[in-house]
Structure 1
Amino acid sequence: MSKIIYTHTDEAPLMATYSLLPIISAYAAKAGVELETSDISLAGRIIAQFPERLTDEQRGPDALAELGALAEQPEANIIKLPNISASVPQLKAAIAELQAQGYDLPDYPEAPATDEEKDIAARYDRVKGSAVNPVLRQGNSDRRAPGAVKAYARSHPHSMGAWSPDSKTDVATMGHDDFFSNEKSVTMPAADTLRIEHVATDGTVTVLKEKLPVLEGEVVDATFMSAAALDAFLAEQVEAARASGVLFSVHLKATMMKVSDPIIFGHAVKAYFKQVFDRYGDDLAAAGLKPDDGLGAIFAGLEELPNGAEIRAAFDQALAEGPAMAMVNSDKGITNLHVPSDVIVDASMPAMIRIGGHMWGPDGKEGDTLAVIPDSSYASVYKTVIDDCKANGALDPATMGTVPNVGLMAQKAEEYGSHDKTFKIAQAGTVRVVNQAGEALIEHEVQPGDIWRACQTKDAAIKNWIELAVSRARLSGMPAIFWLDEKRAHDAQLIAKIDAYLPTLDTEGLDLSILPPAAAAQKSLDRLRAGQDTISVTGNVLRDYLTDLFPILEVGTSAKMLSIVPLMAGGGLFETGAGGSAPKHVQQLVAENYLRWDSLGEFFALAASFEHLAQHEGNARAQVLADALDRATATFLENDRSPGRKLGTIDNRGSHFYLALYWAQELAAQQDDAELAAAFAPLAEKLAADEQTIVAELIAVQGSPVDLGGYYRPDDAKAAAVMRPSATFNAAIDAF
């Protein structure tokens, strides 16, 4: 029997799984396909780290490690739903919930001192941030808006905010003394084992990373951000926002860049509240209240301090006197600086651009915004889009083209593989990357507080990325632009490899070019406005940014993207969209028994997964399922069966019913497999006949709070009961 691994993740995607998985498991079984779940949720990852502390019933396998091993096998077929890339506050909350559920887990050690605490910290560090994606993504990324989604967006264009030429919205970035400007890069002439060390000004050598194995042809980068320059920059931006009367916002990726960006976030908190930290910084530090964790954690901890009310008043006064802060939730007073994982640059910037360059202010109204993106590596992309919208107005979803992406991400490529090689510098000196012969390949002079990082990109991953770009350009007929800046050290190494590998490939008749990110963005925008399509071929971080930016502008959301990772070993990883809105959806589910999560990404991933089985295992029925699912999804979109936005309309569960109905009807009507058609005909008839009853049962439960038994680790029985409330629908699927 063919097998698909369906990942058990977190938040809204997990809730949707309780409803959707029984449907697709029943349908897949008719084609000889088994769906097996694998728990890579934050809670599951935590539990897997401490088996010796747990009972037999509580222990769970290290599913992430198992899936990582599977991803390197040709038979891999994995559907990957969005998971929590945990910030420290999220990690602590998940630990506390599991402890309350009876799991004997240690607290997260803020400043590990003993060997035991260091071991605990190391285990938790394997869980937080981007723990999942680098393990599973053993291939490069192919992301694009499916034809059905583009057709729907053109015939039913989503709302776009108006842009004014007088808009004060802008992007501020350092441009010097940051990761971009300080980067150095080398291509390894032979396999080696490198060492990263810090040489203090007095000659003391501290080994930061003992062994860093590298392969021949591998690109190794290192860079740092100056803490002093960062502080000066942030102070300037706080004052600039105040002077121009715009909202102040900071846009980082504290979930994915789990070491560097929380530190940068903490600098932003201290810059905005400088007077508070000047006066009360020692009190806060003594209580373990760190700016890196955000205002939310600080405010919660103030309740335990004898002068907590006094300090809180000082924070409130700073908020009143400073520039107006962009808000995550104006009604609840949650600011841009409350939680480091709340404002994720790749989700927050496109949303701001889509509504006319605005974010929400503390008064609950939209306002022009100064978007502060400290590192200048990619900030120019957002500035280019903003400036283009000021000059030409909002893009038109009814006429604009599309910008699919081929992204370099295999084998922990580039910045997203830097976590175990990122360090906050303790004292002045030099950080060196040294080979086994004792030669320094890269050196940086650093000061206390500077953030230094290294990363690596394997030659095989780069070569595969170039091949995938050429393949997509040929299959699609679109021009492809490599977004690379020869002035950036790492990009210069990639350009050299492109120059070497492209002549070995069949590129006749293809339109392939290399442009720096700002110029590539402008050319893509010009073509978008003309209704033309352009493939963006990018590195790992820009892959993340652009596969939110362009889909949000084109089709209203990145959750509707088809995201395929052709694994280098021959298998397939099929990703289901972005999970940035997942927390808010769960909050609404708990309060109102209404889940707005749109599973369209799961539908597309499932169809691609079935198609992969058909192609690689010769399962003809899997192809029939895939083709029928594609047609059903087109009907689903045309009939607007995605979740509504308010009570009384169908939510995620209702959308799953309609997908099941249309899919069954397509399978019953198809003529490629008579036996399969006969199997689905009675189900199609029953679902159609019971449509009104099922929809009524699904809507009837809305409006009251529900108990899921947990946020990070819900109770399976309770969650399933909440997500499968229609007895009529359940009976039909379970009997089938």
Structure 2
Amino acid sequence: MSGTASRTATIIYTHTDEAPLLATYSFLPIVSAYAAKAGVEIETRDISLAGRIISQFPERLTAEQRLPDALAELGALTGDPSANIIKLPNISASVPQLKAAIAELQAAGYDLPAYPESPSTDEEKEIRARYDKVKGSAVNPVLRQGNSDRRAPASVKAYAKAHPHRMGAWSADSKTNVATMGHDDFYSNEQSVIIPTDDTLRIEHVAADGTVTVLKDGLKVLAGEVVDGTFMSVAALRRFLTEQIARAKADDVLFSVHLKATMMKVSDPIIFGHVVQAFFPTLFEQYGDQLAAAGISPNDGLGALLSSAAKLPEGDAITKAVTAGLADGPKMAMVDSDRGITNLHVPSDIIVDASMPAMIRIGGHMWGPDGEEADTLAVIPDSSYARVYQAVIDDCRANGAYDPATIGSVPNVGLMAQAAEEYGSHDKTFEAPAAGTIHVVNSGGDELISHQVEPGDIWRACQTKDTPIRDWVKLAVTRARATGAPAVFWLDENRAHDANLIAKVNAYLPEHDTEGLTIEILPPAEATTYSLERLRKGEDTISVTGNVLRDYNTDLFPIIELGTSAKMLSVVPLMAGGGLFETGAGGSAPKHVQQLIKENYLRWDSLGEFFALAASFEHLAGYANNAGAKALAETLDRATGTFLNEDKSPTRRVGGIDNRGSHFYLALYWAQELATQTDDPELAKAFAPLAETLAANEETIVAELIGVQGSPADIGGYYRPDDAKASAVMRPSKSLNEALAAL
């Protein structure tokens, strides 16, 4: 062993979902073997969707089936300075995904209850409450107890410039645009207050007849915390949607809607359901009562509706009504035109932060029913951030596509700690039960926020604590100082929440040395235009944003710059002193799994894992005084540079190296770096034989890895693969496995 640690040298690697999970079966054995030689222990925790479901129902399961609540454990660990967590992308489950995972587990012998759509009994309400802990963005608010520092590593940016990815051409007469409400939405109705002292708030609905219904009680807030309340008028939403459907048809462009039904797990599925109803008005006029009586919700999407309706006596007529609605309306943007999967089939298929950059990257197009690209009307109902995408579209229409070989970079510092802003609103989001007023009142009965609402209006409250805001400002200054790039706070003084944040930013900036730095505050659309102007000149600009724009920007700019957001370095310096290291986006993970099952080929690129692991080792080296971890970090960083220069990322088709082959080459280059480094002779001696073995057997190992491709693969389950089967599929090289075992 090398590098005796004065503190615990442990890294926790998360077991998640879909393609990142499958990649873990291949990559983690390499990581564990290498780390062990440096006195670093790698532990795992299961925070997959299936694992989270299982952990909620221990009393219904056998001792062998039960799993601890790993997410709660990791949440507690984030408050420990020793925390060192590598977090892979996980499923933020929509209701259809949650139901599918439950069904798979039930079929595998887990005695889990069905998901109650409309709970009426106490038992059903209690079951629903447990499942609500699992669905949507259940993981991130728990683990992200720090703010986000997300950027393209220098090696990735250099590779993108040397090997620019394809960008679709933009036409000056492109009819692609964003449609957004601009009034009667969350942005325009927002009210915001700063809490003067620690307190407990209550959210209540007061009906027109004076009946008071408490929606949320015991809401604890801290001094200096920003609390917001807002609502979207459903009547205005329906008018807006009807207008945009007509506009798309008149302009002869594709109709698409872009929401975040996974992270915004209460509000956005409701909005999605209204889009489905607006697109098929005749269907719901004729069969809405029957669908509702059968418990079929438009919120689950057109796919679930058609599948469930097929069992009804009116099933054939409903299917014909859908077909007629598609024919009568504008052409619909498609998820999979070959299979007839539309933009409205599954609420989690079109996620705004992934779908909009993809559309921009290919020239402002989405795919139509004919399988061809076409201009698109991108409907983003709430106007809080929609104008960001319109600004990018306007820039591309005027100046053409971006050139990855010459453009600069837009890294991000994101406010997200302690469930900041909208992503922490799930337990405070409600459909208004009746006409009346929704109030937020403090413990003394004083009204802080008040809105007049109509039945079905979508009301939500958000919290943003003061300590994360202070830390966010500090991190922005730190990154500006480290890079010399301007730091721009994307805040709109005309939005209530942002106005309060601007006041805090202006109060906290003087606490730091900002001499010589360029730090500005601009509304999001203006900040976008400013950053794009610099981007085209090859200049970098740090975007300093709230939680949702953090999510949007860390897909938008990396997809423009690098072709993917999976290659970003994402570090979360936890406020307690530990580190959370995230590994990139998982938006394309489902398609990768489908390809693996079909032809035993996994296209997932683990580059994000490589970057996160190096940062994790580096952090551990400092915390635990572990020289071996320092050597692992430095050699892994150099090995990743070689990996990029040698172009060993997965190819796109069967016959080339896939994810498993890329792991082999990373292992080879890493072993070679370790064997030749001079800071730790004992470690070099330990890895010299492995480096020689891997190099000597390169041809054999690659042949073994490629030889299994082309036939179906059995992993034993989508949401919960069988460990033995998945490991066999993802570790098919006997020579590589034996070499690692010898280490």
TM-score where L is the length of structure 1: 1.00
One-letter identity of the residue aligned with 2:248 = A
* Match among 235, 259, 262 for residue 255 of structure 1: 262
Q: Does 1:607 align with 2:614?
A: yes
Q: Determine the structure 2 residue equivalent to 1:218.
A: 225
Shift of 1:623: 1.1
Q: Does 1:405 align with 2:402?
A: no
Equivalent position of 1:242 in the other structure: 249
Deviation at 1:671, TM superposition (A): 1.3
Given candidates 668, 671, 693, the residue that maps to 1:661 is: 668
| Matched residue, 1:308 | 315
Higher mean Cα deviation, 506-515 or 561-570?
506-515
Q: Which of 104, 115, 123 pairs up with 2:130?
A: 123
Deviations 1:372-395 (A, max 9, x none): 000000000000000000000001
Q: Deviations over 1:476-515 (max 9, x none)?
A: 1111000000000000000110111111111111100000
Moved more, 265-274 or 299-308: 299-308
The alignment partner of 1:180 has SS state of: helix
Task: Pick the aligned partner of 1:626 from 628, 633, 657.
Answer: 633
Q: Could you tell me how far 1:237 is from its partner in structure 2?
A: 0.4
Confirm whether residue 86 of structure 1 aligns to residue 93 of structure 2: yes
Partner amino acid, structure 2, of 1:115: D
Looking at structure 1, the residues matched to 173 and 480 of structure 2 have their Cα atoms a distance apart, in angstroms, of 38
Matched, 1:204 2:201: no
Matched, 1:542 2:549: yes
Give the corresponding residue for 2:484. Answer: 477
Q: Which residue of the other structure, out of 725, 733, 737, is the alignment partner of 1:726?
A: 733
Instruction: Give the Cα–Cα distance (whole angstroms) in 2 for the partners of residues 321 and 701 of structure 1.
Output: 47
Are residue 339 (structure 1) and residue 346 (structure 2) matched?
yes
Give the letter aligned to residue 246 of structure 1.
V
- Tell me the CA shift for residue 642 of structure 1: 0.6
Aligned equivalent of 1:176, options 172, 183, 190: 183
Q: What's the counterpart of residue 579 of structure 2? A: 572
Provide the residue aligned with 1:30 in structure 2. 37
Output the aligned Cα RMSD.
0.6
In 2, Cα distance between the equivalents of 1:264 and 1:729? 50
1:636 equivalenced with 2:646 (yes/no): no
* C-alpha distance in 2 between matches for 1:54 and 1:311: 39
> What letter matches 1:634 in structure 2?
G
Q: Which digits, 9 at most, give the CA deviation of each residue in 1:410-461, with x for residues without a partner? A: 0000000000000011100000000010011000000001000001000000
Deviation at 1:292, TM superposition (A): 0.2
> What letter matches 1:650 in structure 2?
I
2:469 is the alignment partner of 1:462: yes
SS at 2:407's partner residue?
A: coil
- Using the alignment, how far apart are the partners of 1:388 and 1:297 within structure 2? 38
- What is the aligned counterpart of 1:450 among 457, 472, 486? 457
In structure 1, what is the equivalent of residue 562 of structure 2?
555
Structure 2 counterpart of 1:152, from 151, 159, 162: 159
Please name the residue that 2:717 is paired with.
710
Cα offsets for 1:689-735 (capped at 9, x unmatched) = 00000000001100111111111111000000000000011110122
Query: Matches of 2:496 and 2:741 in 1, distance apart?
Result: 57
Distance 1:615 1:369 in 2: 50
> How much does 1:286 deviate?
1.4
Q: Which amino acid aligns with 1:512?
A: I
Alignment deviations for residues 561-590 of structure 1 (CA, whole Å, 9 cap, x no partner)? 000000000000000000000001001100
Q: Distance in 2 between matches of 1:161 and 1:135?
A: 38
* 1:353 correspondence with 2:360: yes
Please report how far the alpha carbon of residue 117 of structure 1 lies from its aligned counterpart in structure 2 after TM superposition: 0.5
2:533 pairs with one of 526, 529, 553: 526
1:49 aligned partner:
56
CA distance in 1, matches of 2:658, 2:589: 14
Amino acid at match of 1:626: A
- The equivalent position to 1:593 in structure 2, one of 590, 597, 600, is 600
Q: Partner residue of 1:321?
A: 328
Q: Distance in 2 between matches of 1:269 and 1:731?
A: 54
Q: Residue 62 of structure 1: which of 69, 74, 82 is its match?
A: 69
Of the three residues 371, 392, 395, the one matched with 2:399 is: 392
- Aligned-pair CA distance for 1:115: 0.5
Q: SS of 1:558's equivalent? A: coil
Partner of 1:162: 169
Per-residue deviation, 1:253: 0.2
Aligned match of 2:696:
689
Equivalent position amino acid for 1:631 in 2: R
Shift of 1:79: 0.1
Give, in angstroms, the shift of residue 620 of structure 1: 1.4
Uncovered stretches (5+) of structure 2, i.e. residues with no partner: 1-7
* Residue 121 of structure 2 corresponds to residue 114 of structure 1: yes
Runs of 4+ in 1 over 6 A off after TM superposition: none
Counterpart of 2:338 in 1: which secondary structure? coil
Task: Provide the secondary structure at the position in 1 that maps to 2:358.
Answer: helix
User: Shift of the alpha carbon at 1:669?
Assistant: 1.3
Q: Distance in 1 between matches of 2:474 and 2:703?
A: 51
User: C-alpha distance in 2, partners of 1:619/1:324?
Assistant: 59
Q: Which amino acid is 2:421 matched to?
A: E
Letter in 1 for 2:630: Q
Q: Give the Å deviation of 1:673.
A: 1.1
Q: Which residue of 1 aligns with 2:4?
A: none
1:513 corresponds to 2:520: yes
1:660-700 per-residue CA deviation (whole Å, 9 max, x = no partner) reads 00100111111111111111111001000000000000011
1:652 equivalent among 649, 654, 659: 659
Instruction: Supply the distance in 2 between the matched residues of 1:640 and 1:278 (Cα, whole angstroms).
Output: 56
Give the counterpart letter for 2:670 in structure 1: W
In the alignment, which residue of structure 1 is the partner of 2:294? 287
- Structure 2 distance, partners of 1:475, 1:581, is 33
The two structures have a TM-score, normalised by structure 2, of 0.99
How big is each residue's C-alpha offset from its partner over 1:224-269, in whole Å with a ceiling of 9 and x where there is no partner?
0000000000000000000000000000000000000000000000
Count of residue correspondences: 736
Residues 26-85 of structure 1: per-residue CA shift (max 9 Å, x gap): 001111101100000000000110111111101100000000000111000000000000
Matches of 1:419 and 1:289 in 2, distance apart?
22
Paired with 1:60 and 1:517, the residues of 2 have a C-alpha distance of 43
Q: Equivalent residue of 2:423, what SS?
A: helix
Tell me whether 1:17 sits opposite 2:24 in the alignment. yes
Cα displacement string for residues 544-570 of structure 1 (whole angstroms, at most 9, x for unaligned residues): 000000000001100000000000000
**SS of 1:506 mapped into structure 2:** coil
TM-superposed CA distance for 1:14, in Å, is 0.3
**Aligned equivalents of 1:16, 1:311: Cα separation in 2:** 42
Q: Who is 1:2 aligned against?
A: 9
1:422 pairs with 2:448 = no
- Between the aligned residues of both structures, percent identity stands at 76
- Residue in 2 aligned with 1:437? 444
Q: What do residues 617-663 of structure 1 show as CA deviations (whole Å, max 9, x unaligned)?
A: 11111111111111111111111111111110000000000000010
Match of 2:3 in 1: none
1:76 has 2:83 as partner? yes
